[in-house]
Amino acid sequence: MSVERTQVGIVGAGPAGLLLAHLLRLSGIESIVLENRTREEIETTVRAGLLEQGTVDLLREVGVGERLDREAFFHGGIYLRFLGRTHRIDMKSLTGRGVALYPQQEVVTDLVKARLAGGGEIVFSVSDVEVRNQPGERASLSFRQGDTKRTIACDFIAGCDGSHGVSRHSLPAGTLARHDRVYPFAWFGILAEAAPSSDELIYARHERGFALVTTRSRTLQRMYFQCDPSENPEAWSDESIWAELRARLATADGWAPIEGRITQKVVVPMRSLVFEPMQHGNLFLAGDAAHVVPPTGAKGLNLAVADVRVLARGLARFYKSADRSELDRYSQVCLDRVWKAQRFSWWFTTLMHRSDAETPFDDKRQLAELDYLVRSRAAMTSFAENYAGLPFD
C-alpha cells in the first residue's frame, strides 16, 4: 500500500474543518478533509447557526458569504423577557455589531461547494480513521474508503471532528487537562412548521423555567424550553408542548407564539467543557474537539471559526518562513477567547434558568440582575459585546 502525502490532514467536514481547508487553499497550502458521514448528511442535518459579527465578516472576506447575505436573518438586538415584560437590548446601537441567523448546515453547504469548486478533496463516508502523531515521526492519517485502505502522511493534522471524534482520543493519556461542568437541566427543543413568532430572538425567564424563541427559516421555527435531562421527548404531545411554551412566554399584553406542526422533538443536554492544551506535537484540536459551551450564548460554531482562523494564520506563516512561533502559541491564543466565551455562556445560562437547588434568595437575585441588565447602559453594552462576539485579535 503506497503512502500518499499532503501538507495538512483535516479530520472532520463540519464548519471548522471545511473553513480551515478553505483558508489554507487561499494561502496556497494543500490539505485533505476526511468525514465519516455522507455529503447529503452533513448538508441536510438541521443545526442551529447563530453567527457572530466576526464570523459573518470572515465568511464574506474569504468569498463564501454571498448566499448568507441573501438568505440569513440579520438581527441588531435580542429580547429578554421576565415577569411578563419584554425588554430589547439594542446591540447594534451599543456596539455597532449584530448577529446573523444562518443554520450551520447552510454554512457547511457553502463551504463544501467552495471546496469542490477549488479542486480540493473531501473524502466522505470514511471509517476506521487512525491519527498518528508520534514525536520524531511524520504525522499521518489512515482510514478506509469503502474497501480501500489509505494512508496519508501529513506535516500537520487538524482535529475538527467534534467532542466524540477520534482526534482528541488519539492523544496519550495525561496529555490534556479536562475542565467541565454539567448542568442539572437540559433543553427540550422542537422544530415547527410555522411563520416566525418574533423579528428577533426571545430569551425568557419564567418561574417554570427558561424558554427560547428563534428562527430557522421563513417557514421553519426552532423553540426550546428548560427540562430535566432525563425527559423523554415522545412523552410530550404537541398540545402539551405548545401549552408549556405559551405559559413560559406569556406577557401582560397576551403575546403568544405562532404554532404549527411539530416535525422534530429533541432533548439537548447542557455542559461546559474545555480541554487544554489544544495542541500536541503536530496535532491541533479545533472547535468541539477542544471545547463545548452550553447553547445559551450561541458560541459553539463561532469559537470553531475563531480557532481555525488562528490555526490557518499560523500554518501560513510556517509555510512562508518556517516560523513556528504562531503555531506554538495556538493554544494560548485560542484559549484566551474560549475561556471568555465560557464565562459569558455560564453566566447567561445560570441567569436565565431555574434550578431545584435554588432558594428564594437566588430567585430574587436573578430577577434583580435581570432588572439591572435591562436598565443599565453599561451592563447592556457588556452583554452586547459578548453576545455579538468579541472582536478577532
| Positions marked catalytic | 75, 203, 295, 299, 387
Instruction: Quote the CA–CA distance of 121 and 137 in Å, as a whole number.
Output: 25
CB-neighbour burial class of residue 239 (10 A; exposed 0-12, middle 13-18, buried 19+)? exposed
Mode of pairing for the β-strands spanning 50-52 and 148-159: unpaired
Compute the residue count for the chain.
393
Cβ partners under 8 Å of residue 303, min gap 6: 287, 291, 293, 337, 338, 341
Give the rounded distance of the alpha carbon of 68 from its chain centre.
17
